[in-house]
């Protein structure tokens, strides 16, 4: 089996690129390493794969214990509904390794479409807490603009050009720019239906429309909102939203099928899955994007946001810090896209450290933001407020005075400058 190509395994349809198994409308998510093991075994049905060969293929350059593979095989059996004592799919060969005993067949173009995982039911109460995520709208940025999956034909070259132009509009996050990006992505897909990057980008614009601009032009906009806030207010559950998200899911899944090793496509799948509250698929897609591109800072931000939606605001700090570091690494080549996000991410990290009762770490992050972006309004007022609470009133006032003298009023400094 080709690494990302779907195939049938007995009664199951296996889709490696999407990380799932399906049969008769039932869909089960499969973790990346589990899927890697299954794909390896499916490459030679009936052949015994020794543990060392599996380790070398699935965990190259990484030292893992025997129990890691044992747990992986056990979980894979559970996903397949198999039993070790009477295997129908995966057989253990004592002291040798493992092999597949079920028939493996490629999925042809005439194969029936695979059913999508059912949407998670009612919104959880904890989603209300997600409405308080950072106002900068750090959640659900699209993805870094990687090369589109088009060919070298004239149409493919033009589709690639349009896709890159669309990316530039998309990252501005206004209704007009989002619509411009959507139009350009659609033109690219019309020229090259297999342009995976354009398909993924088009999916992103549909999701952003649901989250930020659900009404008609002139109606209420939520350009500084978050996915959690959209969920909490019901914007992702309206009939129009569900239709847009279903179309976005189809586009993202096609992009992933076309280019399973494209971090951009994987992140787009994670984005729409998260909007549909299909959180496990979203997590796995984000993790795949990050594994494919260690500098995929957008996927890292999305990964952190997913944790916050699920209530782990403290644990999300690690992912936000990884995103900030990745943005620093790519800043020289991606400055127009990184610039609006890096400072906001640093401020969010500082706020999370404050919430966690770590003012020293928070101060470090505020100062880091101001070193990179002098006179950042939220960075200035955030650090000033922190210093004031720590008893350094004079330091707080000096920060605010300097800002007001050189930039102008800062609402966050108003109470600190009161005599």
Largest CA distance in the chain: 81
State the Rg of the chain over Cα.
24
d(CA 42, CA 103): 9
10 Å Cβ neighbour count for 47?
11
Distance of CA 222 to the CA centre of its chain: 20
Structure tokens at 352: 């999370």
d(CA 381, CA 346): 14
Domain assignments of the chain as residue spans, ordered by start? 7-106, 127-295
pTM comes to 0.67
pLDDT tens digits in sequence order for the chain, 419 residues long: 545 678 899 899 998 878 889 988 888 888 888 888 999 999 888 889 998 889 888 888 777 778 889 989 999 999 999 988 889 999 999 888 999 988 888 875 444 434 444 434 333 332 323 333 333 344 444 444 344 444 457 778 899 999 988 988 887 778 898 999 999 999 999 999 899 999 999 999 999 999 988 888 877 777 667 788 888 889 899 988 999 999 999 999 999 999 999 999 999 999 999 999 999 999 999 999 999 999 999 999 999 999 999 889 888 999 999 999 999 999 888 887 788 789 999 999 999 999 999 999 999 999 999 999 999 999 999 999 999 999 999 999 999 999 999 999 999 999 998 86
Distance of CA 202 to the CA centre of its chain: 16
Helix axes 377-389, 359-372, angle to 10 degrees: 150
CATH architecture of structural domain 127-295: Alpha Horseshoe (1.25)
DSSP character for 411?
Answer: G
Task: Answer whether 72's CB lies under 8 Å from 86's CB.
Answer: no
The residue to which tokens 């695979």 are assigned = 114
CATH architecture of structural domain 7-106: Orthogonal Bundle (1.10)
């Amino acid at each position: 089996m080709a690494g990302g190509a779907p195939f049938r395994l007995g009664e199951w349809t296996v889709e490696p690129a999407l990380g799932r198994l399906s049969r008769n409308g039932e869909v089960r998510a499969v973790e990346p390493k589990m899927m890697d093991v299954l794909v390896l075994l499916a490459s030679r049905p009936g052949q015994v794969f020794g543990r060392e060969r599996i380790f070398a293929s699935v965990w190259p350059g990484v030292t893992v214990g025997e129990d890691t593979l044992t747990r992986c095989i056990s979980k894979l059996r559970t996903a397949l509904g198999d039993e070790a004592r009477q295997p129908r799919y995966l057989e253990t060969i004592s002291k040798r390794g493992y092999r597949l005993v079920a028939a493996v067949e490629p999925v042809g173009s005439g194969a029936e479409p695979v059913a999508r995982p059912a949407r998670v039911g009612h919104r959880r109460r904890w989603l209300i807490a997600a409405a308080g995520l950072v106002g900068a709208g750090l959640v659900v940025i699209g993805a870094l603009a990687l090369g589109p999956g088009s060919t070298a034909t004239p149409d493919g070259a033009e589709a690639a050009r349009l896709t890159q132009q669309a990316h530039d509009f998309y990252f501005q996050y206004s209704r007009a720019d989002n619509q411009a990006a959507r139009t350009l992505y659609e033109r690219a897909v019309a020229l090259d239906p297999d342009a995976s990057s354009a398909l993924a980008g088009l999916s992103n614009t549909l999701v952003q429309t649901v989250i930020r601009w659900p009404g008609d032009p002139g109606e209420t906009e939520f350009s500084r909102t978050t996915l959690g806030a959209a969920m909490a207010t019901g914007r992702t559950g309206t009939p129009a939203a569900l239709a847009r998200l279903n179309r976005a899911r189809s586009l993202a899944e096609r992009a992933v099928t076309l280019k399973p090793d494209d971090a951009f496509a994987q992140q787009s799948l994670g984005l729409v899955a998260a909007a549909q509250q299909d959180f496990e698929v979203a997590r796995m897609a984000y993790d795949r994007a990050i594994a494919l591109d260690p500098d995929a800072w957008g996927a890292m931000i999305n990964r952190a946001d997913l944790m916050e939606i699920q209530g782990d605001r403290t644990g999300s700090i690690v992912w936000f810090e990884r995103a900030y570091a990745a943005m620093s690494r790519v800043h020289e080549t991606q400055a127009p896209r990184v610039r609006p996000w890096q400072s906001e991410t640093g401020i969010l990290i500082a706020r999370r450290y404050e919430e966690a009762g770590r003012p020293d770490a928070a101060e470090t992050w505020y100062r880091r933001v101001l070193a990179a972006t002098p006179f950042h309004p939220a960075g200035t007022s955030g650090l000033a407020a922190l210093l004031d609470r720590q008893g350094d009133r004079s330091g707080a006032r000096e920060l605010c005075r300097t800002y007001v003298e050189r930039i102008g009023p800062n609402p966050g400094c108003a109470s600190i400058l009161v005599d």
